Each structure stands twice: as C-alpha cells, then as structure tokens.
Structure 1
C-alpha cells in the first residue's frame, strides 16, 4: 500500500519501536502497538484513483461523508468530513488554475470525527468558521471560481498544501493533506446540478458531487 511521504515520520518509528521492544523484553504483548501502526497506514495511505473522463463533472475533494449542503444564489457549498479510516489527502475537484491560497490561523474545536451518530451540535458549527484553515481558489476555463478549504480539528492540527498560485492543475490531482483528518469545504460558483445528498459517502476523484453548467 502506498503512503504519502509526510506519514513516514510516524510510520517508521511506529514500526521499529515495537520490534525493538519485543526483541529486548521478549514480551509479545508489545505487538499490540502494531494496531497503532496499521491505523497510521490508513491515515496516510495514498490510494490510486483512475479519474473517469466526464465533461463538466465536479468530483469530491476528499474521502469522507457529506455533512452539510448549502444552496445560495449562484453558489453551492458542501462540507465533507473525513473519518478515522478515510485517506486524508485532498484532490482537485475539477481542472483549472490556482489563483489564490489563503491560510488562516484559528482554533482547534472538536468536529464530529468519530461517528455520524455522535452529534457535537453547535461545537461543530463553530469549528467550520473558527478553526485554522487553508483556502485554495481555483479558476475554471469559464472564468468561474471554485474554492477548496482544508479545515483542521481538535486532533488534526496540521495541514499542507501541495500547490502554488499560478499552477495549472488537473481534476483528481493531489492538492493537499490534513494530518489526521478533519473537514474539507468546497464552494462552487455559478450554475450547477447537484449529484449527491447530505449523508452520502464520497471518494476523492471518484464520486461526482455536481455538474457545472
């Protein structure tokens, strides 16, 4: 299984330390630490995705679950929550040019990270606004704008952007990583046709969430 290079600083110690402890102490229960190693592999895995060629399709920017959909005049906003077993990479929902990257420091409020049955209510709503985040603005061929925002949580306190202003990107291209998950906001400008519902499970560069018109 392929993993992103940013995960090696966790995976290498998480693999070596249990082996050393088992060898030194002959205590097999140290092998339980490999559960943590396996979990880290899930966090940092880089699954291969074959993007289907579908005109005007907008793909999910991350693996996870749609927790909110907001309809506004000429704009659609979706929130995708990344769960414990989701890949934590973000991918371009559509091809275009990166026109702006805005990084905002903020809080680390808790998000509904564990289960859709757990409801943190107003705390999650505040997190969408107050938490540290990184917004990547993409200009499409029709000059419309699309914004992908990486949002950290209580446990996910670091994020990384793989792109820079002026860079041309293709749909499905890796654009960033949130260490240990959290949430991604996607704002689509202009006319669109929604293709998902609240609560739907989505996969980056695989699930079509909307069509732009």
Structure 2
C-alpha cells in the first residue's frame, strides 16, 4: 500500500490535487532526516499537516432549491449588500454577499452552494492581501462562477489570500452542478464570496463557523427575517 493510500484510508480522505505536495513534504522529510535524524520527525509532522490541509471528506448536503449551502469550510466573515464584481455580469445593483474565510487549518475544497447550471467562469489576476480584509474582494486574485438557478443567477467567487497562490476550478461553462458538488479548491488560506439575488435571506451570522456542503447560509422564499445572534 502506498503512502497516499495509507493516508487516505487511515487518516483522512485526501484530494488528488494534494498528492504532489504531500509527496514533496515526505521527500523533504527523508532528506532532512538523512542530514539530522530529529528533523525527519519534524518533517513527518508537516507531511501529516499537509495531508490534513488537502483533506476531502464526504458531506451530507440538503437538496432543496430554496436553500443556499456554504461553499467553504471556515468563518462567516461578512454579510453585506454589495455590488458584485463587474466581470460576473450580474448588474450594478447591490446583492446580498455572504463571505466565508478559510484559514490554513480549514478544508479548502469548494462546493457549489446551489443546484443550477454554470453560465460563466471569469478569472481575474490580482494581489494576495489577507483574504479576511474587505478590500480583498476588489484587489486579490479571484475566480468567479455564475450559476443559473430557479431563483435567478448567483455568483460564487474564489478569492486567493495572503498565503494562497493558486485557485483551481474543476468545472466548465454549461456544466450542471448539484448543491454540495465539488467545483474547485484554493491552496493555503483564502475566501469564498456568494452573491445572491433579491429574495435571499441570510441564515448565518458573522463569526459563525460554516461547513462546506452542509451549513445553510441563506434561504429563498422565507418570511423570516435575518438571523439575530449574540455572543455568549
């Protein structure tokens, strides 16, 4: 059994995009251990962390077209009415934006928040400032998907962070997506923004922890108001 099979079967499922990085960490551990034995164990710990970073666990996703599911693991960092990025072609009116920030310990596999069909994918190069900052939406490298749904078009934007240097998108224009289906990955710290049309109401609060493919972050067609939260 290979190193990758051992990690995948006994520790945590690992996304295939992480295999080269896990292999690189492990080889570096062997080299460092040959130079100075204690360094091998440090390298091995880092190898296991790398495998943990690229983990890709199964998720149970509610299949309801009125629900919007978190596209990422992490912390809900913002809930605002914001004009969407121009390249998405969603118009110049403010839309409900829900942002989820992923740190280096979160799972970084991105999942579709809704069921629909991809009508556009728009990549834009940029900077790599802290993805938790609001200006990251404008300044950072990003990749945006436009998904046509029964409630209209929504935008899902992958935003690179301070450490992230590679945005991956596995989907293509005209492909259908189910809610919770994997569509991309960002390496090492980043953010996902979801832009929702009129009728969507947030079902999470700023500071709340979200789980990709499982946490309901917004809902259509509900007469309930926004979530009221308190710290305790």
From the superposition, tell whether residues 13 and 145 of structure 1 become closer, same or farther in structure 2 (CA, over 3 Å).
same
Deviations 1:149-193 (A, max 9, x none): 000022101101111110011000001111112111110112023
Q: Measure, in 2, the Cα distance between the counterparts of 1:125 and 1:192.
A: 21
| Partner of residue 15, structure 1 | 26
- TM-score (structure 1 length as normaliser): 0.87
8 Å CA contact 1:43–1:181 kept in 2: the answer is: no
2:102 counterpart of 1:82: yes
| Partner of residue 71, structure 1 | 81
Report the alpha carbon displacement of residue 13 of structure 1 after superposing the two structures with TM. Answer: 2.0
The gaps in structure 2 that reach 5 residues or longer are: 1-11, 83-92, 222-232
Report the alpha carbon displacement of residue 53 of structure 1 after superposing the two structures with TM. Answer: 3.3
The gaps in structure 1 that reach 5 residues or longer are: 113-123
How many residue pairs end up in the alignment?
200
2:130 counterpart of 1:110: yes
User: Please, what is the CA RMSD of the aligned residues?
Assistant: 1.8
SS of 1:33's equivalent in the other structure is helix
| Partner of residue 6, structure 1 | 17
From the superposition, tell whether residues 160 and 29 of structure 1 become closer, same or farther in structure 2 (CA, over 3 Å).
closer
| Partner of residue 178, structure 1 | 186
8 Å CA contact 1:75–1:191 kept in 2: the answer is: no
- TM-score (structure 2 length as normaliser): 0.80
Of 24-33 and 41-50, the range deviating more from structure 2: 24-33
